[in-house]
Amino acid sequence: EAQVTQNPRYLITVTGKKLTVTCSQNMNHEYMSWYRQDPGLGLRQIYYSMNVEVTDKGDVPEGYKVSRKEKRNFPLILESPSPNQTSLYFCASSYKPGGYYNEQFFGPGTRLTVL
């Protein structure tokens, strides 16, 4: 089944403790991205990647890192999480950025709470 998977689905952590949220897709998509969703603010893009080893900042990149060493994986790294990073996080992928078929497919989300 074609899908985007995220792990963990739920995470409660404390300020300053490094964490990684994994994202994997099995559709051979070039493009992957991370979003956060907050009440009243909607979905905002954190980082995106056009292909392996190619990443760029979205609208709200501060406090986050990403890497794209393999086409299928795009982990989100919080080196020193803070309470303002408490949010619902989504990973997404699409076939061909800029091409005709670039429908975005989303993972199920990761609910992160930073105490």
Partner 1 sequence: KQEVTQIPAALSVPEGENLVLNCSFTDSAIYNLQWFRQDPGKGLTSLLLIQSSQREQTSGRLNASLDKSSGRSTLYIAASQPGDSATYLCAVSSGAGSYQLTFGKGTKLSVIP
* Site residues (vs partner 1, CB under 8 A): 31, 33, 35, 40-45, 48, 50, 56, 58-59, 90, 92, 97-98, 100, 102-109
Least distance (Å) from partner 1 to the CB of residue 97? 5
Q: Which is nearer to partner 1, 26 or 80 (CB)?
A: 26
Minimal CA–CA distance to 107: which of 27, 39, 6, 1? 6
Task: Please say which residue, 16 or 108, places its beta carbon nearer to partner 1.
Answer: 108
Supply the minimum distance, in Å, between the C-beta of residue 52 and partner 1.
15
- Closest distance between partner 1 and the C-beta of residue 16, in Å? 28
- Contact assessment for residue 64 and residue 49, using Cβ atoms and an 8 Å cutoff: no
Cβ nearer to partner 1, comparing 30 with 79: 30
Cis peptide before 75 (omega within 30 of 0): no
- Contact between residue 82 and residue 15 where contact means Cβ atoms under 8 Å apart: yes
Distance separating alpha carbons of residues 85 and 115, to the nearest angstrom: 10
Q: Which is nearer to partner 1, 48 or 74 (CB)?
A: 48
Measure Cα distances from 82 to 23, 39, 63, 92, 114 in Å.
21, 18, 9, 23, 6
Residue 76 beta carbon to partner 1: minimum distance, rounded to whole angstroms: 15
